[in-house]
Structure 1
């Protein structure tokens, strides 16, 4: 009798752990719905698991189909919801196969609990399917992030859960055919305890992952322009200074572009500021489509932008600038053009202050930009060859 009560208590404890995890994740979702839509799925998973544990804990007071089929279905479905949440977190398509297999499992459980009662087969099917879901979840997280602490913590607990589930599925045939979930068993104690701890660990890992996303968003707000996503002027200055120091050490060339939208005030006056904002966003996307991952792109002020092209000769920089200028604008914004000033930044002497070099490069590119405006706009002009130092 004592063992039965202990097992029932462990099952209900497992569900209670899920509720606590859901409360935290639900709070994160309510505070950051646009940034963390995945948290809603993550919060729903443990809640559904809790419903399943309650149904299973009421075994003996409610009919077997309700306790066995719905209870196990909720637990498997909760694990699938948490996996779906991670798919949403990394903007992947939601897979359908967990729900297909859940439906097949429900039919099998109904047959194995009413028509042909067979506890070991039920015990093999449910943990086995959950192990497959956990392995898919593990692969998803591993593919997207295995370097951050939050991801490694989550990966560890998902792996632990998958091993515990696979072990229980493999040892299912050691149970008697007429046994039950609460029949005293060493394997059952190990399995339920392990899964309870893994659910807690997985929930903490998801919370850490959500907090990591929030912290990154805060850092982005501090360093990126909220309208265009380009670096702020201060953040660009820091990044460009760092790149030019690297250039000086390695004696590699670089180039700097100053970009200005032509007649932008006319766009605002004619179409309104919301349309002007759309034009700025479209132009920023147009630039990002052309640049490499190592390039630095910032908003210098108003409709003026700046780009640093590390390890780039003047000829290659001119080709990049021309591609930016020639790219078509989006269909939902008024047609606009851009003027671009370019300067090559030759490696300065080892004792030259990087800040002065950057200032000089910006001054030369800015002068070339005004020359492009004077020549009729919608063109690229390169500053006279020389060292921007």
Structure 2
């Protein structure tokens, strides 16, 4: 949503919020062994990303968070033109469709991988939006299934790396966030028990979908003449955008956690999300990666200390400019109403700082031997402090 305002106002977020995831050569570790390429294209090398909002670049409009609801939002809003807002400067033409592929998306922020980076991911995508249309894939937001788009890319480029982030929307991650926020703001009840049951019920089908998405990607690459092992395929998991309760800088009593911090979640629900839900999803995705013989990038701890409301980071204000070293690396809960900032779907995603850090993760994975990796950040440093564990 575009806003036009010239005055500096601060609006309590509580009042703004209403309702806001074959036969292949294998090594001893089960991962693909790199082999000589069979693909004959003379096109430029490419690094390609597929999947959902956590890799498309959702929330790339923002660098840190601020409670100032107008102007540049204390320097955090990259869409500010000096007289209005132009989100297309960040998301390009995909802002209109809602795919929200940002200029700082992981594949764009990574370096040293290929001559060109191609982002096919789309905010809100499920596994069915990755499958080929001929195999049950579904178009999404006016675009063909991502595997079919990949086929066109693979035919005209020499693809070196494919990175996939998918499964969160199959599990209803956005619904979990909205339910837990409403339970804090409206119902004064906990969400973790009901949402754990919801995730458990969806987990088998979601992980089966992730496995099929990997198969679809391989089928596309094989059909385009790529030998198994001539490119790398990485499945990544999700970071937690909120901290555990002991690391939240706002008390759960009163309204600072919601009004000021933009993290309207009870302690018990925060601990469940940070230390149970996110690890459970990461473990499940890791098992899929192992079963399919692809590389796995575990991001469960990537935002540690950089989460929304974390004691290790801070909001920007008129006296504190945003900084990749001290600001939050994820977008706080927002609704896109007239008194708000941006759009609802940007909430709880890595912002431009986080995406630059994720790009650093991907660069390091590419430079490392084929295998599984975790990625973390260094407190008090920008993306240059990101490292593989």
Q: TM-score range by the shorter chain?
A: under 0.3
Larger relative contact order (Cα-Cα within 8 Å, sequence gap ≥ 6):
2
What TM-score do you get using the length of structure 2 for normalisation? 0.25
Tell me which structure has the larger Cα radius of gyration: 1
TM-score w.r.t. the length of structure 1 is 0.25
